[in-house]
Structure 1
Amino acid sequence: MSSSFRTIELSDAPFESQGLRFLTVKTPNLEGRGDICLYVPKVDKDIDNLPIYILLHGVYGSAWIWALKGGAHKVAEKLINNKTIEPAIIAMPSDGLWGDGSAYYSHHSKNFDNWIVNDVVIAIKENIPEAKNSNSTCIGGLSMGGYGALSLGAKFPEKFKAISGHSSITKLEQMTLFVEEPLEEYTNNNDLPDVIDCIKSNQNRLPKLRFDCGVKDELIKPNRLLHKELNKLNIEHIYEEFEGGHEWPYWIKHVEKTLMFFDEFS
């Protein structure tokens, strides 16, 4: 079968562990290579249509961080083994590795949004047999990855069944809380709507939507505001608050809510 990518590197089974696989493809959208860390559960060899659950990382991170700092694959494995959710592939791509974080949209001649929305799914379906005929994709993320999940899920509603955000950035200007690149690096010659604007643009055909935030998180007020704006627009969603801050212990604890939400609608 011909490939959609000029070059592909897939990790070899004898050297893999914990159900994790690593995939690197070269794509014009990044003007170079992109990495994807994958959790592929053990299923019957005839199964080729597992749903794909994308988890987007935050600033400073890369493809490995949801698994090797957040243990997302272990959470998925536990939920699958105890039959809380059906088997699914957890896809954890890099954001394109621009600066401290790309924010998952197009700038500097690189289409970080198309990398996530199109390339990641195509690369998985072409190279992971268990996903060859997958027809269900969901998208979630933390912090900057929450911004990516909420905005991309809303801008491309036909691509996803459900959206979930943890501790999400809701306006691009909030990136300056975390990155050293000035805001002008992101906004120059770009039309960059806030999450609520992305949602409003497709509010009648949105995927299922949930998001949460820790009460000690510096982003709690923006998340509460987004919740209020959605209520004012009568847009169906789930919003929850929990103890905790903008930190890995919070995301490790609550990522199972994302996976269970995806399972409900995939």
Structure 2
Amino acid sequence: MAFMTCNFYSESLGVSASMNVIVPQATRSQIGLDSQQYGGKHPTLFLLHGLSDDHSIWMRRTSIERYASQLGIAVVMPAVNRSFYADMAYGPKYWEFISEELPALARSFFPLASERELNYVAGLSMGGYGAMKLALTHPERFAAAASLSGAVDIVTRATTFPADFQLIYGDVTTVKGGSNDLFHLANQLVASEKKAPMLYQCCGTEDFLYEDNLRFRDYCRALELPLTYEEEPGEHEWGYWDLKIQRVLNWLPLPERV
């Protein structure tokens, strides 16, 4: 695998931005790493960080490079600060950045596949919310999305992060039923009759977001969305996420290798 830190200018944000990228490399003599590779451009996982993290966190807290190497997929890990993956009322347009500009730039810099069937998104906490938001808003772009301990009910979380949410949304009372509300987006997807991506959701039973995850799970099930849900004892911490990202990678609907 090749690992790169990429610094570039973002038109959406009006400032320089960063992402870490893992790209498959076919090797014969590397010791201790089982390196696989598909033919053509690489299947890609967009892997999103949480509220207090940045683009470096998945490499620092997990063995994501080793896990991805075994499957032969690329991993794109962008930085979005404390934006909740939204076009902020009092800040930059992070939703435009993550949903439009970043994928196009990443594919212009690296040999990444653009087909829906070869694109996936996942994240933890705020990033789990962002992953679900991307997949529910643009089901035509992603074959699968995974949320690890996701902040999936932002209407409830408005009281947890009042300063952040005021900067992000302005009037937080407008969030419910809008384009940032995952429950609303799930409804809209079903009503559109578009093909839904595969969804994966997990949360530790001792996590402060556990009840939020149960509500979102039950809502998706009522809508008959293709959701895989898992829970077990666990808190909001990296030991849990390191284990579950391995589960997510093995769950992804990867194509047959050529």
Give me the TM-score of the superposition, normalised by structure 1: 0.80
Deviation at 1:119, TM superposition (A): 2.0
Cα RMSD for the two superposed structures: 2.3
1:142 equivalent to 2:129? Answer no
Residues 63 and 200 from structure 1, CA distance in 2 versus in 1: closer, same or farther, beyond 3 angstroms? same
Report the 3-state secondary structure (helix = DSSP H, G, I; strand = E; otherwise coil) of the residue aligned with 1:251: helix
CA contact (8 A) 2:143 2:197 kept: yes
Query: 2:106 pairs with 124, 135, 154, which one?
Result: 124
Q: Equivalent of 1:91, from 53, 57, 76?
A: 76
Aligned ranges 1:53-92 → 2 under 5 Å: 53-77=45-69, 80=70, 85=71, 87-92=72-77
Q: CA contact under 8 A between 2:22 and 2:74: conserved in structure 1? A: yes
1:1-266 matches, within 5 Å, as 19-43=2-26, 47-77=39-69, 80=70, 85=71, 87-95=72-80, 97=81, 101-107=82-88, 108-128=90-110, 130-131=111-112, 133-135=113-115, 136-173=118-155, 174=157, 177=160, 179=161, 181-188=163-170, 191-192=174-175, 193=178, 194-203=181-190, 204-205=193-194, 206-264=196-254
SS in 2 for 1:22: strand
Structure 1, unaligned runs of 5 or more: 1-17
Distance of aligned partners of 1:169 and 1:29 in 2 relative to their CA distance in 1, 3 Å threshold = same
Q: Give distance in 1, aligned partners of 2:105 and 2:2.
A: 18
Q: How many residues align?
A: 235
Shift of the 175–58 alpha-carbon distance from structure 1 to 2, 3 Å rule, reads farther
1:105-128 per-position Cα deviation (integer Å, ceiling 9, x unaligned): 111352211211222222221111
* C-alpha separation in 1, matches of 2:11 and 2:18: 14
SS at match of 1:245: coil
CA 1:65/1:29 → structure 2, altered by over 3 Å: closer, same or farther?
Answer: same
TM-score normalised according to structure 2 size:
0.83
Tell me, what secondary structure is at the counterpart of 2:47? Answer: strand
| Cα distance in 2, alignment partners of residues 242 and 157 from structure 1 | 28
Percent identical:
22
Distance of 2:214 and 2:255 partners within structure 1? 25
Query: Which runs of at least 4 in structure 1 moved beyond 6 Å after TM superposition?
Result: none
**Counterpart-to-counterpart distance in 2, 1:140 and 1:73:** 15
